[in-house]
Amino acid sequence: MRLRLVPDETHIDFFKYRYATFGVSVVAMIASLILWLTVGLNFGIDFRGGTTLRTESSVAVDVGAYRDAMQPLNLGDVSISEVFDPSFGPDKHVAMIRVQAQDGQESVATDTVNRIEAALQQVDSTIRFTSVESVGPKVSGELIQTAFIAVGVSLAAILFYIWLRFEWQFSVGAVAALFHDVLLTVGIFSLLQIRFDLATIAALLTIIGYSINDTVVIFDRLRENLRKYKTMPLQDVMNLSVNETLSRTLMTSGTTLMALIALLVLGGDVIRGFVFAITWGVVVGTYSSVYVAKNIVLWLGVKRDWTKPDANKGNQFANIDA
C-alpha cells in the first residue's frame, strides 16, 4: 500500500475562494509592509555595524549582572539575551551580547572588545567567548546595498527567464508571487524580531529559488494543458493543471519541509534563524504558487492560440495544387 498525500485524482476548485485567498495574501503583504516600516527589522551587526559576543559559561546567565558590568564602559546601546537550545547540556549557558558601533569609528577597535571581555570576566570567571564578531559601519552600509542588489537582480533575472520560456503574463505572475514570499518573510522577521543578517538574505534568495521552482512546475503543466485543451476556459485549465501537479507539489514540499524541520530542531541555535526563514518560505512559497501566481495570470489573461500560422492558408499567392 502506497502512501498518498492526495488521492490519485482530485478536482479541487482552487478558484472557488479566490477573492478570499488573494485577499488574505494582499492583507498579509500590507501587514508585513506596515510591520517592517513601524516595528522594523532586528538588524544584525552585518547591516548596522557593531560587535556581538557569544558567551558560554557553566554558571547560569545573569543578564542584569552582565548589564551592570558593562554599564561603566559607556558603549551606548547594548542588548543581552540568553540563548536556549535543546542540545545544550545542564551546565552550558549561552548568551548573546550585542554592542552598537561606537561613534566616530569607521573601523573596529580591538580595545573595545578587550574591555567588554574583561568586564564580563569580573562577573563570571568561567565565562568564555566562543565567538566575537565586529563589523565596521563602513562595511555594513555596503552589505545592505549588496543585499538589496542581490534580491533585485534575482527577481529581474527570473522575470526575464520566465518571459523567455513562457509568456510575459506568466513572468509577471511568478515575480508577483516571489515578491509576496519575500515580503511575508520580511514581515514575520519584523513581527518576531528575529535577527536579520546576511544569512537571512541568503535565505530570502533560497526562498525565491524554491518558490520559483514550484511555480514553474505548475506553469509548465499549464502551458502543456493550454495546448491540449484549446477551448476549455482558462480558469478550468488552470484548475486542472494545479490538480494534476498537486500530488507532486505536496510530495516535494513534504520532503523539503521534513529535511528542514530536522535542521530546525536539531541543527543548533546558530543557524536557527536561517533555517526558520527557509522553512517559512517553503510554506509561503508553496501557497503563493497555487494562489498568487495563478490568480495574476488568470487576471492578466493569456494567449490561447498556440497554432502556428498555416503556411498554406491566407497568403497572397494562389495555391496552385488546389
Partner 1 sequence: MLQIDLWKRILIWLVVAAGLLLALPNAFYSRVEGHNDAIASGVEDSTWPSYLPTGLVNLGLDLRGGAHLLAEVRVADVYESRMKGMWPEIRNRLRDAREQVGTIRLVEGKPDELRVRIGDADGMARAVQLVRDLARPVTTLTGAGASDIEVRAEGDILVVTLSEAERAATDDRTVRQSLEIIRRRIDEVGTREPTIQRQGADRILIQVPGIGSASELKQIIGTTAQLTFQPVVSRTASADASAGPGQEVLPSLDEEGVFYILEDTPVVTGEELVDAQPSFDQNGRPAVTFRFNPTGARKFGDYTAANIGNPFAIVLDDEVISAPVIQSHIAGGSGIITGNFSVEESTNLAVLLRAGALPAGLDFLEERTIGPELGADSIAAGKLACIVAFAGVLIFMVASYGLFGIFANLALLANVGLIFGLLSMIGATLTLPGIAGIVLTIGMAVDANVLVFERIREELKTARGPARAIELGYDRALSAIVDANITTFMIAVILFALGSGPVRGFSVTLGIGIVTSVFTAIWVTRLLIVMWFERRRPKTIEV
Of these, 29, 184, 275, 297, which contacts partner 1 (CB under 8 A)? 275
Contact flag: residue 243 with partner 1 (CB under 8 A)? no
**Locus of grid cell 545542564:** 90
Residues between 212 and 241 with contacts to partner 1, criterion CB under 8 A? 212-214, 216-217, 219-221, 224
Beta partners for residue 52, in sequence order? 98, 133
Q: Least CB distance from residue 251 to partner 1, whole Å?
A: 5
Of these, 95, 135, 226, 242, which contacts partner 1 (CB under 8 A)? 135
Q: Least CB distance from residue 147 to partner 1, whole Å?
A: 8
Contact 76, 103 (CB under 8 A): yes
Pick the stretch among 34-42, 62-70, 130-138, 302-310 that binds partner 1 (CB under 8 A).
130-138
Query: How many angstroms separate the CA atoms of 19 and 17, rounded?
Result: 6
How many residues interact with partner 1 (rule CB under 8 A)? 77
Of these, 21, 121, 243, 247, which contacts partner 1 (CB under 8 A)? 247
Neighbour count for residue 130 (Cβ, 10 Å): 10
Q: Residue 31 or residue 217: which is nearer to partner 1 going by CB? A: 217
How many residues in total does the chain contain? 322
Contact 87, 266 (CB under 8 A): yes
Of these, 2, 11, 303, 313, which contacts partner 1 (CB under 8 A)? 2
Q: Residue 68 or residue 91: which is nearer to partner 1 going by CB? A: 91
Of these, 58, 126, 146, 312, which contacts partner 1 (CB under 8 A)? 146
Query: What 3-state DSSP class applies to 135?
Result: strand
Query: How many angstroms separate the CA atoms of 282 and 185, rounded?
Result: 10
Query: What 3-state DSSP class applies to 101?
Result: coil
Of these, 65, 123, 232, 244, which contacts partner 1 (CB under 8 A)? 244
Q: Least CB distance from residue 136 to partner 1, whole Å?
A: 4
Q: Least CB distance from residue 258 to partner 1, whole Å?
A: 4
Pick the stretch among 1-9, 33-41, 58-66, 183-191 that binds partner 1 (CB under 8 A).
1-9
Specify the DSSP class assigned to residue 315.
S
Neighbour count for residue 90 (Cβ, 10 Å): 6
Residues between 95 and 124 with contacts to partner 1, criterion CB under 8 A? 106-108, 110, 113-114
Query: How many angstroms separate the CA atoms of 240 and 10, rounded?
Result: 9
Tell me, residue by residue from 58 to 97, as one string, x for binding to partner 1 by CB under 8 A and - for no binding: -----------------------------x----------
Q: Least CB distance from residue 80 to partner 1, whole Å?
A: 18
| Closest by Cα among 66, 74, 58, 57 to 123 | 66
Contact 197, 47 (CB under 8 A): yes
| Closest by Cα among 265, 131, 158 to 214 | 158
Query: How many angstroms separate the CA atoms of 79 and 63, rounded?
Result: 10
Q: Residue 275 or residue 298: which is nearer to partner 1 going by CB? A: 275
Tell me, residue by residue from 11 to 30, as one string, x for binding to partner 1 by CB under 8 A and - for no binding: --------------------
- Within 267-311, where are the H helices? 272-288, 294-300
Of these, 10, 58, 126, 131, which contacts partner 1 (CB under 8 A)? 131
